[in-house]
Amino acid sequence: MAYFFQDVSRTFSEYLLVPGYSSEECVPANVSLKTPLVRFRKGEAPALSLNIPLVSAIMQSVSNDTMAIALAREGGVSFVYASQAVESQAEMIGRVKGYKAGFVKSDSNIRPDQTLVDILALKEKTGHSTVAVTSDGTASGRLVGLVTSKDYRVSRLDPKTPVSAFMTPIEKLTCARDGITISEANNIIWERKLNALPVIDDGGILTHFVFRKDYDTHKENPRELLDSNKSYVAGAGINTRDYEERVPALVAAGADVLCVDSSEGFSGWQKRALSYIRERYGDSVKVGAGNVVDREGFRFLADAGADFVKVGIGGGSICITREAKGIGRGQASAVIDVARARDEYFEETGVYVPICSDGGIVHDYHLTLALAMGADFCMLGRYFSRFDEAPTQKVRINGNYMKEYWGEGSARARNWQRYDLGGEGKLSFEEGVDSFVPYAGSLRGNLDVTLSKIRSTMCNCGALSIAELQKRARLTLVSSVSIVEGGAHDVTLKDQAGGQQK
């Protein structure tokens, strides 16, 4: 007969954290939210870590290049959605990787014999006011000058004027030699009061730029997540159908980490995709997999080579998989079970495979519960979809501003690859809905509040790191009446009484 799990399938709302001893050092300012993103061996550091334990979901209505830049600036990672053409997804990754860097490859270049008209067209195309003038008009040509908005006035210059007539020639430029460190380059920028510092090799060939604005941005965003080249870390979703075409394109575009986007990961399809990546790239390409909800599913993906494993089926706010198919598990139960399997695997093999809790987050405190139960980080869709940085439209409904939010299993997304079971290339039925969520403004302000809550709760538990929280946390199940007791009760709130206290 069928196997029956003995424990009840539970959600985050059925648990509370019980406070532990907090020393004088347990203050929010001392809490570190850094957490591993990919697998690592005991005694070694992970190749990629997050500065905050949050990543955005692989969804059309959540994760594009705009969200990826905004979230990397705050210390997390966005996984750019896979339900689009390979070329457009790779272009999004390219925009993220090129947006912020210490040493930047020039993407605005022109020849000295071109004209002001060409300068203006280039500025319109790239949005950049600094243009490198090279001998052949390429990013790797010999640098002969530089054009910025200070070098010309459109109203006083003939549009046909050659660039050589108004550019700042290289003889008057401050340049750095290839091999200079980012710290040395920034010192030159500040000492010479420059906005941009060209970097050239011994033959005068342009190799990179270093910009003042990048230094300023870093100082304003101390949590930002950068790669070794000082570019923002970017993630990308893949599927189990066209990975042989999609993965090489995303790797070439600079994606730092990939993730198989699938509603159910305990399958031969995911093992096949992971095997392809490992055979072609070895361990150099980092890729997560999922989703699973139990020990067996975790072991399967960990043995198949997944760098992290996503946990959760049917718990998302726009997901109706449980209603449509009767498949899934309460998110709290799933995280607890998989976390135990992750720890067992680490003890047996010496390899730590991080787990990502995906779905089931309704309130901010659910994030802290997920971390305490063993999750290394959480993937969020609805949470991020509410912000300006999400790619959806802001609309006004019944006097309130809302943002559009739809599931990948909805008819609108038509992401049949996510639910692929080897059949025809279409959705046979919906596993997601099309909806609205309350508009919440900018990501930063809201995220700061959420992170403050996590840090404060961790201090209540006597933990200054996520690893400490997982060791020291004490959790209790709650009854339905204690849930009521936990909110405002037996009073009339002021805003419900016309501003008058009752």
Using alpha carbons, select from 396, 356, 474, 353 the residue that is nearest to residue 20: 474
* Catalytic-labelled residue, pool 26, 259, 319, 459: 319
Using alpha carbons, select from 81, 83, 63 the residue that is nearest to residue 411: 83
Please work out, in degrees rounded to the nearest 5, the angle formed at the alpha carbon of residue 45 by the alpha carbons of 255 and 68.
25
In the annotation, is 319 catalytic? yes
* Catalytic-labelled residue, pool 418, 455, 459, 461: 418
Distances (CA, A) of 104 to 175, 195, 387: 14, 13, 29
With helix as H, strand as E and coil as C, how does 216-280 read? HHHHHCCCCCECCCCCECCEEEECCCCHHHHHHHHHHHCCCEEEECCCCCCCHHHHHHHHHHHHH
CA atoms of 149 and 166, how far apart (whole Å): 11
Structural tokens at position 453: 């809550």
Using alpha carbons, select from 103, 99, 108 the residue that is nearest to residue 389: 99
CA atoms of 360 and 357, how far apart (whole Å): 8
Distances (CA, A) of 194 to 256, 395, 398: 31, 43, 51
First to last CA, the chain: 60
- Residue 335 C-alpha from the chain's centroid: 21
The count of other CB atoms within 10 Å of the CB of residue 161 is 14
User: By CB neighbour count within 10 A (0-12 exposed, 13-18 middle, 19+ buried), where does 242 fall?
Assistant: middle
CA atoms of 236 and 64, how far apart (whole Å): 9
In the annotation, is 175 catalytic? no
Using alpha carbons, select from 373, 340, 425, 297 the residue that is nearest to residue 11: 373
CA atoms of 77 and 236, how far apart (whole Å): 9
Instruction: Catalogue the active-site residues.
Output: 319, 418
